[in-house]
A and B are shown apart, each in its own frame.
Chain A
C-alpha cells in the first residue's frame, strides 16, 4: 500500500492545533467493517467482487474509485443491504445506512418539503415535528425557499440537494453515496462538493462516496480506495491529511489525481491481456 501524505496547507495568519470531526472520536469500533467479501452473480456467473476486506472509521470520508464495471456500486449496494454477498460479512455498526443515488429519485408527486417529510415519517418522527425538521434540513442545503416546489421545477443540482436533505432526514450515522454528482455540470458539481464537505464537517457523518471521477475523489476523500476491475478488488489506498477545506483546483488535489490516474490506467491496461 502506498501511503501518500500531502503537506498540510495553512491558510490564514496563525495555525493552531485543532482536532477535526473525524479524529475526535475513539477509533475502537469501525463504522463499517467488510470482511472477506465476495460477490458473484448467479451460481456460476463472473466474480464481481473478490475477497474485499476494509474497515471505515466513524466520521471518515472515504471515496471508492474505479473504472465502470469494477463493482464499486455493487459493493455500496451490499453495504446498504440492498444486495447480498455471496460470501463474507459486512457490518455497519450503527445498524443501517442512508443511501443517495446518482438519480435524485425524488417522488415526483410530492414537493421538495414533502419528500423530506416522507423520509421523516418513515423514520417515525411525529407529524407535528416533521414540517419544521424538513425545513431545517432543506435550509442545510440552502433550499428552504424551494420547499413548496415540485421536483420537475428544480434544476438537477437542486434535486440532488433535496435528495441529500432527504437522506440526512434518515438520521443514520453512515451515508452511502453512489455517484451522486455524476450527472451534473462541472460548475454545479464543484458547488455541491463544497456543500457536501461542509455538511460532512457539521454533521460528523461517515461517508462512503462512490465515483469514477479521480479529481472528485481526490477533492473530497480523506481516504481514496482504488478498485481494480474483474474481479473487483481494492487495488490501492491513499490517505490525505485533513487540512481543512480543499479546492478541486489546488495543487495537492492535482498531484494526487495524477498519481491515482496513473495507477488506474495500469489497472485498466491489465484487462487488455
Chain B
C-alpha cells in the first residue's frame, strides 16, 4: 500500500524468473493432485452379476423355504383341504385363472386403475404440497387435516363414495385419491422442509430469482423426500384400490383383482382367494422393483446417500 509504506522497498516483490515461476506452479499442481489422490477413495463398483446375487438370492431362498415348509405342513399334518390348501392347489388355481383369462383381465384392470388413480393423485398432490410448503398460513390451516387424512383408512370413504357416485369408476378413483393425495403432498412438504438452508442461501447469493430458486435449487434438493412420498402414495393407491374393489362390485365397475378376491370368497374357493392374494402381493412387489427401487437407488447414489441397500 503506497499510503502506508515507510520505505520505498516495501512495495518490492521478489522477482522470480518466469520459467521458475511456471516450474513452481507445476510443482504446486502436482502436490495438490497428490493430496487429492490421497484423500479420495475410489468407489469399488460391484458388478451387475454380484448385485443380482446379493439382491435377488436372499428373498428367493426365503420364499422357497416358506413354500417348502407349507408343503411339509400339508403333507404331515393333513389338514382339511378346504381350510388349508397346499401350495400345489394354489398354483393350480392360478393356472386355471390364467387359462380362462380372468387373471390377466383382473390384473390389467386393477393396474390400469391403480396407475391412473396414482397419476391423478400426483397431479393433485404435487401442487398441493408446493403450496403447503411455501405458504405458511395454508399449512397451519390445512396441515393437520391432511395428516389426519393420511391416518384415516381410505376404506372408510367407500360407503360415502357409493352413495355419492353409485357403482361407477368414480367411486374407485375417489377412494384411491383420498388415500394417495395426502401421502404425496406430505412427502413433498417433508422433502422441502429438509432442504439445507445453506443451499437456499447459496442460490440467493448466486443471484437466483424466486422462480429459479424454486426450480433449480429447492425442487431438486427436495427430490428424495418427494420420491419417498410418491412411493408411499403408490402403496396407498394400491391398497385403497383393493379395498374399494372388494366392497364396491357390480354396476359399471370393471372386474379387478379385488372383485376376483370377493368372487372367490362367495364361491368358498380358498385356493382361489389365496391365489388372488398372492397375485396382489406380487404386483405390488413388481411395481416397487421395476419403478421405485431403481429410481430411488440412482437418485440416492448420485447424491452419495446410498447406504449400500440392495433391492
The interface of chain A, by Cβ under 8 A from chain B, is 3, 5, 8-12, 14-20, 22-23, 27, 57, 80, 82, 96, 98-99, 101, 103, 105, 107-109, 118-119, 121-123, 142-143, 146, 150-158, 166, 170, 187-188, 191, 194-195, 198, 222-223, 239, 241-244
Chain B, residues 1-22, CB within 8 Å of chain A (1/0): the string is: 1111110111111111100000
Query: How far in angstroms is the closest Cβ of chain A from B198?
Result: 4
- Chain A residues with CB under 8 A of B33: 142
Query: How far in angstroms is the closest Cβ of chain A from B28?
Result: 6
State whether the Cβ of B206 lies closer than 8 Å to any Cβ in chain A.
Answer: yes
State whether the Cβ of B220 lies closer than 8 Å to any Cβ in chain A.
Answer: yes
A101 engages B36 (CB within 8 Å): no
**Closest chain A residue to B16 by CB distance?**
A12
Contacts A107-B199, A122-B207 given; indicate if A3 touches B4 (C-beta within 8 A): yes
B206 engages A122 (CB within 8 Å): yes
Q: A99-B205, A153-B304, A191-B32 are in contact. List 5 more A-B contacts (CB 8 A).
A: A11-B14, A105-B201, A142-B29, A170-B205, A222-B1
- Chain B residues with CB under 8 A of A8: 9-10, 12
B15 engages A191 (CB within 8 Å): no
Out of A5, A14, A27, A142, name the residue touching B6 (CB < 8 Å): A5
Contacts A23-B2, A101-B198, A105-B202 given; indicate if A155 touches B39 (C-beta within 8 A): yes
- Chain A residues with CB under 8 A of B14: 9-12, 15, 243-244
**Closest chain B residue to A8 by CB distance?**
B9
- Chain A residues with CB under 8 A of B94: none
Contacts A123-B207, A187-B35 given; indicate if A11 touches B16 (C-beta within 8 A): yes
State whether the Cβ of B90 lies closer than 8 Å to any Cβ in chain A.
Answer: no
State whether the Cβ of B97 lies closer than 8 Å to any Cβ in chain A.
Answer: no
Within 8 A of A (CB), among B196-215: 196, 198-199, 201-208, 212
Contacts A82-B204, A187-B35, A241-B5 given; indicate if A150 touches B10 (C-beta within 8 A): no
Q: How far is the CA of A14 from the CA of B207 in the complex (A)?
A: 47
B217 engages A15 (CB within 8 Å): no
A191 engages B31 (CB within 8 Å): yes
A242 engages B13 (CB within 8 Å): yes
State whether the Cβ of B100 lies closer than 8 Å to any Cβ in chain A.
Answer: no
- Chain B residues with CB under 8 A of A170: 205-207
Out of B10, B35, B199, B212, name the residue touching A191 (CB < 8 Å): B35
- Chain B residues with CB under 8 A of A222: 1
State whether the Cβ of B223 lies closer than 8 Å to any Cβ in chain A.
Answer: yes
Query: How far in angstroms is the closest Cβ of chain A from B6?
Result: 6
A16 engages B12 (CB within 8 Å): yes
- Chain A residues with CB under 8 A of B15: 12, 14-16, 18
Most chain A Cβ neighbours within 10 Å, of B5, B8, B32, B201 = B32
8 A-B contacts, Cβ less than 8 Å apart? Answer: A12-B14, A12-B15, A122-B206, A123-B207, A150-B303, A155-B39, A241-B1, A243-B10
Q: How far is the CA of A198 from the CA of B12 in the complex (A)?
A: 17
**Closest chain B residue to A166 by CB distance?**
B206
- Chain A residues with CB under 8 A of B221: 107-109
State whether the Cβ of B302 lies closer than 8 Å to any Cβ in chain A.
Answer: yes
Task: Sort chain B's interface into a size bin.
Answer: 35 or more
- Chain B residues with CB under 8 A of A123: 206-207
Q: How far is the CA of A23 from the CA of B31 in the complex (A)?
A: 31
SS class, residues of chain A in contact with chain B: loop
State whether the Cβ of B43 lies closer than 8 Å to any Cβ in chain A.
Answer: yes
B304 engages A150 (CB within 8 Å): yes
A118 engages B206 (CB within 8 Å): yes
Out of A20, A105, A142, name the residue touching B198 (CB < 8 Å): A105
Out of B10, B13, B217, name the residue touching A18 (CB < 8 Å): B13
- Chain B residues with CB under 8 A of A101: 198, 201-202
**Closest chain A residue to B11 by CB distance?**
A23
Most chain A Cβ neighbours within 10 Å, of B4, B8, B33, B203 = B4
- Chain B residues with CB under 8 A of A187: 35
- Chain A residues with CB under 8 A of B1: 22-23, 57, 222-223, 239, 241-242
B198 engages A103 (CB within 8 Å): yes
- Chain A residues with CB under 8 A of B39: 155-158, 188
- Chain A residues with CB under 8 A of B203: 122
Q: How far is the CA of A188 from the CA of B3 in the complex (A)?
A: 35
- Chain B residues with CB under 8 A of A119: 206
Query: How far in angstroms is the closest Cβ of chain B from A142?
Result: 5
A158 engages B208 (CB within 8 Å): no
Query: How far in angstroms is the closest Cβ of chain A from B218?
Result: 11
State whether the Cβ of B57 lies closer than 8 Å to any Cβ in chain A.
Answer: no
Q: How far is the CA of A5 from the CA of B305 in the complex (A)?
A: 50
B28 engages A194 (CB within 8 Å): yes
Q: How far is the CA of A158 from the CA of B38 in the complex (A)?
A: 12
- Chain A residues with CB under 8 A of B223: 109
Q: How far is the CA of A199 from the CA of B176 in the complex (A)?
A: 59
- Chain A residues with CB under 8 A of B220: 107, 109
A195 engages B36 (CB within 8 Å): no
- Chain A residues with CB under 8 A of B6: 5
- Chain B residues with CB under 8 A of A152: 303-305
